[in-house]
Amino acid sequence: MTPIALVIVLILTGLALVVVEVLVIPGFGLIGLLGGGAILAGGWISYSQLSPSAGVIAWAGGLAAAGLMLWLLPKTRAARKMVLQARHEGAASDPALAQLVGQEGITITALRPAGTARFDGRPVDVVSDGQFVEQDTPVRVVQVEGARVVVEPR
């Protein structure tokens, strides 16, 4: 294989490995390092076998192609599927939870100290004040802080 063909193969293989690292295997791992190494090896072979100017052109071309790829990749359909597009707006907790203060219900699960209780036929995630509460125990809501509903046994 001629040095020019080897340089082209190494740089294209390196770019392909970097694409696989970015799109298929998330993180910074061995595949990305191998891709970067292949691009550098292509530049080095071009520098040493052809000429210093050919090496600079190969490295600049590889870096430009990698930069172009990183600029274009987020605009692809595959990249858009990896990014959450929806935005969460509004309060994190249910405003109806604040109305539970003072209400009585029954535990659906044991509270250790967290579990579930039913109030007016509606299951609600609750916590006790640190004590264990058996299943099917009557409880009363003593405090609501955001989404945290604190109960005590009756």
Q: Residue 135's closest CA among 115, 120, 151?
A: 115
- Which token pair is 53? 């100017």
Q: Is the Cβ–Cβ distance between 137 and 116 less than 8 Å?
A: no
Q: Out of 25, 51, 82, pick the residue that ends a domain.
A: 82
Q: Out of 82, 115, 130, pick the residue that ends a domain.
A: 82
Between the alpha carbon of residue 15 and those of residues 34, 49, 87, 135, the distances in Å are: 10, 21, 33, 59
Least confident interval from 29-43, 58-72, 128-142: 58-72
Task: Tell if the pTM clears 0.75, that is, is over it.
Answer: no
Q: Are residues 66 and 130 in the same domain?
A: no
Q: What angle do CA 32, 36, 42 make, to 5 degrees?
A: 145
Examine residue 116 and state whether it is found in any structural domain, yes or no: yes
Q: Are residues 68 and 8 in the same domain?
A: yes
Q: Are residues 132 and 101 in the same domain?
A: yes
Q: Are residues 57 and 112 in the same domain?
A: no
- Model confidence over 50-68: pLDDT tens digits? 888 887 887 788 778 878 8
Q: Are residues 99 and 78 in the same domain?
A: no
Q: What angle do CA 149, 150, 151 make, to 5 degrees?
A: 120
Q: Are residues 50 and 100 in the same domain?
A: no
Examine residue 134 and state whether it is found in any structural domain, yes or no: yes
Q: Residue 83's closest CA among 29, 19, 23, 16?
A: 23
Cα Rg of the chain, angstroms? 30
Q: Residue 111's closest CA among 97, 95, 131, 92?
A: 131
For residues 82 and 120, what is the distance between their CA atoms, to the nearest angstrom? 41
Q: Are residues 25 and 66 in the same domain?
A: yes
Examine residue 90 and state whether it is found in any structural domain, yes or no: no
Q: Out of 82, 112, 134, pick the residue that ends a domain.
A: 82
Per-chain mean pLDDT for the chain: 84
Q: Are residues 32 and 74 in the same domain?
A: yes
Examine residue 88 and state whether it is found in any structural domain, yes or no: no
Please compute the mean of the pLDDT values over residues 127-153 and round it to a whole number.
Answer: 92
Q: Are residues 8 and 75 in the same domain?
A: yes
Q: Residue 121 is part of which domain span?
A: 95-153
